[in-house]
Structure 1
Amino acid sequence: MIDTLRRHIPVLDWSRTYSRQAFSNDMIAAVIVTIMLIPQSLAYALLAGLPPEAGLYASIVPIILYAIFGTSRALAVGPVAVVSLLTAAAVGQVAEQGTAGYAVAALTLAFLSGGFLVLMGVFRLGFLANFLSHPVIAGFITASGILIAASQLKHILGVRAGGHTLPEILVSLVAHLDEINWITVVIGVGATGFLFWVRKNLKPTLRRLGAPPLLADILTKAGPVAAVVGTTLAVWGFSLAERGVNIVGDVPQSLPPLTLPGLSPDLVGALLVPAILISVIGFVESVSVAQTLAAKKRQRIDPDQELIGLGAANIGAAFTGGYPVTGGFARSVVNFDAGAETPAAGAFTAVGLAIAAVALTPLVYYLPTATLAATIIVAVLSLVDLLILRKTWDYSRADFTAVAATILLTLGLGVEVGVASGVTISVLLHLYKTSRPHVAEVGLVPGTQHFRNINRHKVETDPTLVSLRVDESLYFVNARFLEDLIQKRVTEGCRIENVVLMFSAVNEVDYSALESLEAINHRLKDMGVGLHLSEVKGPVMDRLERSHFIRDLNGQVFLSQYEAWMLLTKPGLGQVTD
């Protein structure tokens, strides 16, 4: 009973050995991450089309709930760029930005996303995320980064442009060029340049000047805070809001409120599919970051429990004025590098953000939205990896096609179409690759008991024997391919008396493939050719023995390919291939 509770509520496990040293490290990490998250949370709420305080609210209770139910020691949960963009795209279809209905729809989206994640965790369906291939994910994130950066240009220029796709955004920006506020441009471009400089050059500069590593790291992470403070003071001191510079304005000075998502059938129906897509994308991003960081400390995470942890975080966001959240790459890496040892670091971060929500929100009244836009642009451009196109082109044309299609569809038709197409392309890519499995004709390496591809190695062969190594599990997509290949090979060589299928790489044979094997067996039997199997794995053999196939087999099942070779080859007929 206790072990079960610890497995499903990980805080009961790691808290037993919590030490003073761990507390100290977690507190330091929390301070650094809190400094980073205050401007970032405000910015991502802007990206999602929500009031800035929603970003803070989404970063408080969800972090605490993940600390209780999550298994990663370093993952930092909260609003992230891609999920914020997906939220804006989904909610914008059912409500107008700035209305109460828009905020309720965002709460509903978080609730549905959290519920779906929890269900996946309860039924241990974390493996479903594997249907998104890494190249497709990279393509989608790259396209999303470009879209997000483009969508923030209107705030940098101070114009009222719109659009959900790259062509729409660019056309709208051009149409509103006459509205450009040059003071806003100076603030936005200056803040963007400053943040890029801070990210790349501030830490090395401070280290050269003799600053301790920890201090240099904190000051670098505080770069966005410096931009916020500097531009806010400039707007206030020079009364720039009166000269057309857009500012954040009033932000409620309070802890996260108790909120209720809307559960009307129409609203749920409209947001269900986007919620599922957001859940899958958020989980893939989160679990990949968590696994990477856990591996560095020889720790492990439980993907199915991660689903429950992220689901609880999203449900918490739905009832505390937030919107969908997940584990963020940048904040998690910062948390890890700052020395976080347990999820308590996240809970301490939540306390820091709660203090900010109560005490610091009046200070951001004159914060220009151009500065928040600059924060978003600098953050998301690090996600853009156009080199993935060249890498996949050099390695696999099929993967290149998938990446290119995902990028183009996301930029041209929007993020929801991009996500859906990414999932579809991933599945189709898998089906395509496995529909034509690699089947090698093998021969004996002279002087050994090993068998290798006759087209790659100098091996011994027998014209009366065809040995085929099947390098893929057999199922409905590729079963007919093997059937046709064997038929073609046997009819090409009139002296063939036996065919051996080497099953060392076959992990599964489904019913469609079984029927194909039976058809191959009957056809070869009619032709006077024996069909044999070798090196069949135990689970596959167990399955085959439950059918009529083994009893009707026109040949034998050999423990090894060498055993088949010794029994079926004819002395004096062997030859060596070049």
Structure 2
Amino acid sequence: MALSPLTKYLPVLQWGRTYNKEAFQNDLVAAVIVTIMLVPQSLAYALLAGLPAEAGIYASIVPIMLYSVFGTSRALAVGPVAVVSLMTAAAIGKVAQSGDIGYATAALTMAFLSGVMLLGLGLLRLGWIANFLSHPVIAGFITASGVLIASSQIGHILGISISGHSLPHMFESLFENFTKLNFITLFIGVAATAFLFWVRKGLKPLLLSKGVPPKLADVLTKAGPVAAVVVTTAFVALFRLDNWGVKVVGEVPQSLPPFTMPDLSFDLIGKLFVPALLISIIGFVESISVAQTLAAKKRQRITPDQELIGLGAANIGAAFTGGYPVTGGFARSVVNFDAGAETPAAGAFTAIGLAIAALALTPLLYFLPKATLAATIIVAVLSLVDFSILKRSWGYSKPDFFAVAATILMTWAFGVETGVSSGVGLSVLLYLFKTSRPHIAEVGLMEGTEHFRNIKRHQVKTDDRLVMMRVDESLYFANARFLEDYIYDRVQADCGIEHVVLMMSAVNAIDFSALESLEAINARLKDMGIKLHMSEVKGPVMDRLQTAHFLHDMTGEVFLSQYEAMAKLTGMTAAKAAE
């Protein structure tokens, strides 16, 4: 019992007490598979962020270990991901030039800010803030980002430099530099891309057809990017193609992550604050989606607020160990899960594997062509592209379709920050638009029952002296006036009305603006000789109304049920009403 307060914030104390030899073996196997995949992927994502290749490995060591202590997901693999890497490059590119020491320092600061924000949100239990990004908008943003990321790597495939963080700028730069095309680099890039696509779809079936055990076939498939790295690196080194214009990674420090310090000057923090907030929210949404999906398969539980703390700790760790913003990655987490990871210890073992790679393998990466890393990124991010969201949202909800389409177009045209900002804005505006015109149904009694349904959809019993309206939305400042106008329009058209009953079964809250509207409705109906009543008011709503004078001033009554209201106001007995 004494450990329970600690286990809330240190989940490692919970799963660590039941850790056994079998879990250790499963975690170790998963770590080996994930490490093989992460070495080239981490290098590639660091270059995507505009940072030296080693920053990707550094960002995958300490952050993973910290998450394994504070995180609640047993399969989530934390580290650099494509979308966050692109957002990092877009944000830092506005305050520093890639390659400068100030650029790397800004990346550390971005990770620190993101970590502090995530940690603060977790401690304040504000995980719900991610709900401001609707799923269709997130899907549209990730699809747009996938295309943007793949486009940004075309330059590396062609052996030319392209700049910009939006499609128009990228293609403009591409056309300007197209004459500098390097055909050797093009050959390496196209061959690596084609091979990686084939590995993803065709290698495992081929191996299984040859009698290779499924587990081994899966490991060999995941090692496909490593094979591409080894072959293309050897090819470039053997023929010294770097002398022929093939761009290589170059010297990668042979060391563990260094101790680094972010720049906490107010000027830099002010410039990076908003991008860091966007990265934090996007990263958290991506991470929690993956974590909950994988946890559901094993009936495990994810605590969103504790996930914020885990991701916050991981990002702070990245800031002090030469990294940049990190989050839970979809591809690596799925690989980790499929490989049999039992606990977050698999992540810690992965970190150890990457540390060994940083010490022993980095000298072998000197001749690694950047075209191969670009191919790795392209193949990885194109799996995120899903334009079917447009078709599905068009068929189900036109407003959601326009939000998705606008997010995609804004991301392509102006970059990731504008795209995700517009997505958040559109999500909020769509919510306000939908709820500002709530569905209000005039209802009547179904014959032989005590149920009330829409008079436009069902054959129901009504009374000329009585108007019964079901309000299908909580009442707040954006829709209060709509309810006023709806009631006035209805009663002015019928002089025989004596009572208006608002059926409040779907109303979960009434804010102060809506309360004032109800008071205005009550006063105006009173002047018209009509009484206002309510029925089926929920307890929390009634508690709030009882703190004001509205119930005392209301001309009518509050009924427990709509059936009771109709029976009393029409003078019917229960038996007669049910006839």
Following TM superposition, by how much is the alpha carbon of 1:215 offset from its aligned partner in structure 2, in angstroms? Answer: 0.7
Q: Secondary structure at the match of 1:495?
A: coil
Match of 1:327 in 2: 328
How do 1:39-78 and structure 2 match up within 5 A? 39-78=40-79
Match of 1:339 in 2: 340
Following TM superposition, by how much is the alpha carbon of 1:208 offset from its aligned partner in structure 2, in angstroms? Answer: 2.1
C-alpha contact 1:247 1:369 (8 A) present in aligned 2 = yes
Following TM superposition, by how much is the alpha carbon of 1:446 offset from its aligned partner in structure 2, in angstroms? Answer: 1.0
Q: Secondary structure at the match of 2:288?
A: helix
Following TM superposition, by how much is the alpha carbon of 1:174 offset from its aligned partner in structure 2, in angstroms? Answer: 1.0
Residue deviations 1:127-155 (CA, integer Å, cap 9, x gap): 11101111111111111111100000000
C-alpha contact 1:140 1:407 (8 A) present in aligned 2 = yes
C-alpha contact 1:314 1:324 (8 A) present in aligned 2 = yes
Match of 2:462 in 1: 461
Mean Cα displacement is larger for which, 475-484 or 456-465? Answer: 456-465
Give me the CA root mean square deviation.
1.2
Q: Secondary structure at the match of 2:189?
A: helix
Match of 2:517 in 1: 516
TM-score (norm 1): 0.98
Match of 1:281 in 2: 282
Counterpart code for 2:314: A
C-alpha contact 1:40 1:375 (8 A) present in aligned 2 = yes
Counterpart code for 1:86: M
Match of 1:493 in 2: 494
C-alpha contact 1:470 1:501 (8 A) present in aligned 2 = yes
Match of 2:565 in 1: 564
User: How far apart are the structure 1 equivalents of 2:218 and 2:452?
Assistant: 56
How do 1:324-473 and structure 2 match up within 5 A? 324-473=325-474
Counterpart code for 2:421: A
User: How far apart are the structure 1 equivalents of 2:511 and 2:293?
Assistant: 34
Match of 1:502 in 2: 503
Match of 1:4 in 2: 5
How many residue pairs end up in the alignment?
A: 573
Residue deviations 1:316-372 (CA, integer Å, cap 9, x gap): 000000000000111111111111111001000000000000001111111100000
User: How far apart are the structure 1 equivalents of 2:206 and 2:495?
Assistant: 77
User: How far apart are the structure 1 equivalents of 2:72 and 2:248?
Assistant: 39
Mean Cα displacement is larger for which, 435-444 or 73-82? Answer: 435-444
Asked if 1:37 is matched to 2:38, the reply is yes
User: How far apart are the structure 2 equivalents of 1:548 and 1:204?
Assistant: 73
Match of 1:146 in 2: 147
Identity of aligned residues (%): 72
Counterpart code for 1:5: L
TM-score (norm 2): 0.98
How do 1:535-550 and structure 2 match up within 5 A? 535-550=536-551
Match of 2:163 in 1: 162
C-alpha contact 1:34 1:349 (8 A) present in aligned 2 = yes
Match of 2:312 in 1: 311
Counterpart code for 1:536: V
C-alpha contact 1:462 1:570 (8 A) present in aligned 2 = no
Match of 1:551 in 2: 552
Q: Secondary structure at the match of 1:205?
A: helix
Q: Secondary structure at the match of 1:176?
A: helix
User: How far apart are the structure 1 equivalents of 2:377 and 2:357?
Assistant: 20
Counterpart code for 2:162: A
Match of 1:134 in 2: 135
Q: Secondary structure at the match of 2:299?
A: coil
Residue deviations 1:373-428 (CA, integer Å, cap 9, x gap): 00000011111111111111111111011111111111001111112111111111
Match of 2:240 in 1: 239
Counterpart code for 1:214: K
Match of 1:221 in 2: 222
Counterpart code for 1:18: Y
Following TM superposition, by how much is the alpha carbon of 1:2 offset from its aligned partner in structure 2, in angstroms? Answer: 2.1
User: How far apart are the structure 1 equivalents of 2:279 and 2:161?
Assistant: 27
Following TM superposition, by how much is the alpha carbon of 1:571 offset from its aligned partner in structure 2, in angstroms? Answer: 6.1
Residue deviations 1:220-277 (CA, integer Å, cap 9, x gap): 1101001111111111112211111110110000000011111111111111111111
Counterpart code for 2:216: L
Counterpart code for 2:347: G
User: How far apart are the structure 1 equivalents of 2:191 and 2:495?
Assistant: 79
In structure 1, the gaps of 5 or more residues are none
Counterpart code for 1:29: A
Counterpart code for 2:498: E
In structure 2, the gaps of 5 or more residues are none
Match of 1:266 in 2: 267
User: How far apart are the structure 2 equivalents of 1:447 and 1:395?
Assistant: 35
Displacement over 4 Å in runs of 4+: none
Following TM superposition, by how much is the alpha carbon of 1:453 offset from its aligned partner in structure 2, in angstroms? Answer: 1.1
Match of 1:80 in 2: 81
